Structure 1
Amino acid sequence: MGRTRAKAKKSALTVTKSAQSSSSSATPAISALLDKAQELIVQCDFPLARKFIDRALVRDDGSMSEKNQAKEMMGVVLLETGEVDEARELFLTLLPPHPTAPVPPPPSAHLYLAQLSADPHTALKHYQAAIDILQTQLKGKAPSPTQGDEQDEGEDEVRSNIVRAYVGMVEVWMDPEYDLCFDPAASSTCDSLLANALQIDPHNLEALQCLASVRLSQEKTEEALAALLTFPPSSPDAPPAHNQALVAALPLSVRLARAKLLLECGAYHDALNVLENVLASDDSSVEGWYLMGWGWWLVAEHQKEGGEVEGSEGLTWEDIARDSRDCLETCQMLHESQSDPDTPILEHVQELLGTLDALGIMPSPVQDDDEGDGDGWEDASDGEDVEMS
């Protein structure tokens, strides 16, 4: 766990591709139009993706599956461009008893509508409907020696969406904006939903991190940490670099969520390792610098009280607190320059900087590049015993 010196954004479900057409006509096949639209969606070129989807929707030679796929993709584009009401109405056209809706509806329509619902009970119904459809699909995927990896990939996608739906239900139950979190059955219901999710995929990272969050809310810190450390799955004798590489391959948002949970579990060394990798990938991440600053703050606080943290040997708590300040000031600068809307992060950063001011902890002195990265730390503490927490 190296010390990081300060330096000067719900993903949509992947739309399943339809089979490629073998047509050699000069008019592009609908499947080709949808493949191109999917490619543009991945590239975040939503206006151009919309044009390809429109071309597919006005055609009358497509199958029902292709028409529904086009509608689903258009709904994704509408969501990404901020047209939420229009997206909701479009997804509703894919559900019975709408006159044009297929039977059964695509589970993705229920998943999107669950995320868009302002009513928790409606959201839960959509999630359950998606799970029921997906479970039926999973049971219908009998092994076929001629399909091989392609079938395995399709089954993995179904399993992943089932787990995502269970996790979505847990998040609805835990959301403080809803009254469900005050229901006496909330805790046991979340446990049951997560058990179902992990039965589908015991190593699903999204489910494990959700389980850790639930265990923290239940004040079961050791169980929360155990859930986090279940990923990545590997043999006990696997080198640390192997596991670090698996974590480093995760999306940035997932790594940030993992680091935050690790900090809340008191696993500072693991959390800071994740955050070092995050900032190596993107040194303009406001949340990354915030969590790194908070992480070093917690390490300094722990060491000030006589504790030890792996990776901070030979450093005083003032040294570590100064690193915390450097990271927090970088976060504050990036928050302002990027007009970041996350006000709670800025408020917490300012609170921590205020306490560091009271402790007399000043920023690290600016060093020239040819002076290296030595540990010539200045002790700016005035000796006051100011509480850090």
Structure 2
Amino acid sequence: MVKSKGKRPAGAVHVGSASNPAAAAAAAARSAASSNPRPSSGVGRHQQAAAAAGGATGERARASAAANSTEAILNRVEMLMDGLDFATAAQTCMRVLQRDPDNLRAIEAMGVIHLELGNPEPAFECFKRACALEPTSGADKFMYLGQMQSGKEAAASFETGTVLLKQEREQAIQMGEDPAEFTRRISTALASTAELYLTDLCHEDNAEELCGTLLEAAIAEDPTNAEAIQTFASYQISKQNPERALALLRDSLALWHRRRAGYDTYRINPNEDLEDDMDPEVADLRQVVDPMLDGEDVMDDQDLPPYDFRINTAKLLIELEQYEDASYVLGQLMREDDEVVQVWYMFGWLYFITSDYAAAFECLDTAQRMHAQTQCDDEPMLVHIQELLGEINNNNLIARFSAENGQSGENDDGSMAQ
């Protein structure tokens, strides 16, 4: 049977019938909405706001994830290190190592941070682990490790670092970059290896020949490397060639030690009152450095070789009897940091050699006290300090020197100098 129009199945409700007013109202509303669009209702606005908020939250989440990515954290570590905030850098770097203990960049950074914080043992472990994780690239970690090792182990690390530096230089050249930085570092690495054959490995077969060959290679790489030239001077001293050593040392000094007219040597003045701004620890020792200089510094700090290198410069100058230059170099070091035991010791040694026993006593006495306070582990230096102090006291050198030079030999309180 064909259904007639207008007929509907039994029980069906017509949407527009009066028997279902709610349905009719809904239908009318839909019809009106379709024919006359209007702004979104309150519910719609909430939905849009929620969607927008969800998008913003997603953006913030992505930004937070980026900020907390390993690369971002390590970039922050490097910024903190550049700002010398090593304590915060250590805490930040540990976040990476906790999630990724084998992250090479983090391990190397942590090694440097430990060094800066005065923690050589964990620093050594960091560099050792970094070298084991990636032994075929990255010269820096091998150079750091070599500096913390001795003997054949140090030589092996330096040699590996040198090979990798040469590879890095070739890569820089291929990329059109200036290789000068790599050349200087290669030269310094060769000189560092050579120095081992002057010290730890001096009893090895062909040590002298190997040392000379390495130094010649270092200077050939970079003839303007003051560190390599100075090491060559040390080598010549070991060969009993003082004239050649002095010529080389002067070549090295000429690259950075530019004295100007009007600058005099530094002196230790044990009788002068302490300056108000002197470090309290040094003030307690009743010592003062009197630079006897006028005007600005000779060179900017960034132009100077490392502090330890210049300590060795002063030592070589004393050995070669260049006392005025030695005094000047030591004075510059003292002005930079007046709490280094070795500098006070070398000043005392210099004054002892030049028969200024009162100044020698003050410097050596300060060095001896600092040696104990800082728990310095250089026992040979302490032995020499005590020998020199003993000679001054046992031979009454201060009083004798004062008498010979027409001085009273009295201390500030009127007592005789001891």
User: What's the TM-score bracket when you normalise by the shorter of the two chains?
Assistant: 0.5 to 0.7
- For the 8 Å contact 2:344–2:364, the answer to whether it is kept is yes
- Which one of the candidate residues 187, 198, 219 is aligned to 1:174? 198
- For the 8 Å contact 1:262–1:268, the answer to whether it is kept is yes
- Which one of the candidate residues 223, 229, 240 is aligned to 2:250? 229
Shift of 1:295: 0.6
Query: 2:351 matched to 1:296?
Result: yes
In the alignment, what sits opposite 1:109?
A: 141
The two structures, once aligned, show a CA RMSD in angstroms of 3.6
Q: Pick closer, same or farther for the CA change 1:262–1:31 going to 2, 3 Å.
A: farther
Shift of 1:223: 1.8
Q: Pick closer, same or farther for the CA change 1:76–1:249 going to 2, 3 Å.
A: closer
Query: 2:317 matched to 1:258?
Result: no
In the alignment, what sits opposite 1:187?
A: 208
Q: Pick closer, same or farther for the CA change 1:336–1:140 going to 2, 3 Å.
A: closer
- For the 8 Å contact 1:208–1:227, the answer to whether it is kept is yes
In the alignment, what sits opposite 2:27?
A: none
- For the 8 Å contact 1:256–1:288, the answer to whether it is kept is yes
Q: Find the aligned partners of 2:259 and 2:149 in 1 and give their Cα distance.
A: 44
Query: 2:371 matched to 1:335?
Result: yes
In the alignment, what sits opposite 2:93?
A: 53
Amino acid at match of 1:296: Y
Map 1:207-286 onto structure 2 (within 5 A): 207-233=228-254, 239=260, 244-245=298-299, 249-286=304-341
Secondary structure of the residue aligned to 1:127 is helix
Q: Find the aligned partners of 1:234 and 1:335 in 2 and give their Cα distance.
A: 32
Q: Pick closer, same or farther for the CA change 1:223–1:243 going to 2, 3 Å.
A: farther
Q: Pick closer, same or farther for the CA change 1:210–1:243 going to 2, 3 Å.
A: farther
Deviations 1:321-370 (A, max 9, x none): 22222222222233333333322222211211221223323389xxxxxx
Taking every aligned residue pair, what percent have the same amino acid on both sides?
28
Amino acid at match of 2:192: G
Q: Pick closer, same or farther for the CA change 1:245–1:347 going to 2, 3 Å.
A: same
- Which one of the candidate residues 350, 353, 358 is aligned to 2:386? 350
Deviations 1:156-205 (A, max 9, x none): 432233123212311332234xxx42234111111110111112221222
Name the TM-score, length of structure 2 as normaliser. 0.62
Amino acid at match of 1:255: R
Q: Pick closer, same or farther for the CA change 1:232–1:172 going to 2, 3 Å.
A: closer
Secondary structure of the residue aligned to 2:397 is coil
- Which one of the candidate residues 186, 195, 209 is aligned to 1:162? 186
Q: Gaps spanning 5+ residues in structure 2: where?
A: 1-61, 264-295, 411-418
Shift of 1:266: 1.1
How many residues end up aligned between the 2 structures? Answer: 305
Q: Pick closer, same or farther for the CA change 1:378–1:277 going to 2, 3 Å.
A: farther
Relative contact order higher in (CA < 8 Å, ≥ 6 apart): 1
Q: Pick closer, same or farther for the CA change 1:113–1:361 going to 2, 3 Å.
A: closer
Q: Find the aligned partners of 1:348 and 1:85 in 2 and give their Cα distance.
A: 30
Amino acid at match of 2:107: K
Shift of 1:25: 3.1
Q: Pick closer, same or farther for the CA change 1:338–1:114 going to 2, 3 Å.
A: closer
In the alignment, what sits opposite 2:161?
A: 130
- For the 8 Å contact 1:138–1:158, the answer to whether it is kept is yes
- For the 8 Å contact 2:310–2:329, the answer to whether it is kept is yes
Query: 2:79 matched to 1:25?
Result: no
- For the 8 Å contact 1:297–1:321, the answer to whether it is kept is yes
Amino acid at match of 1:87: C
Q: Pick closer, same or farther for the CA change 1:189–1:351 going to 2, 3 Å.
A: same
Query: 2:117 matched to 1:86?
Result: no
In the alignment, what sits opposite 1:316?
A: none
Amino acid at match of 1:128: E
Deviations 1:120-140 (A, max 9, x none): 0x4433322222221122233
Amino acid at match of 2:299: A
Instruction: State the structure with more CA Rg.
Output: 2
Q: Find the aligned partners of 2:75 and 2:391 in 1 and give their Cα distance.
A: 54
Name the TM-score, length of structure 1 as normaliser. 0.66
- For the 8 Å contact 2:242–2:320, the answer to whether it is kept is yes
Q: Find the aligned partners of 1:118 and 1:245 in 2 and give their Cα distance.
A: 33
Q: Pick closer, same or farther for the CA change 1:200–1:358 going to 2, 3 Å.
A: same
Q: Find the aligned partners of 2:220 and 2:408 in 1 and give their Cα distance.
A: 54
Q: Pick closer, same or farther for the CA change 1:114–1:329 going to 2, 3 Å.
A: closer
Deviations 1:72-105 (A, max 9, x none): 2133345653226632552233335xxxxxxx42
Shift of 1:271: 0.2
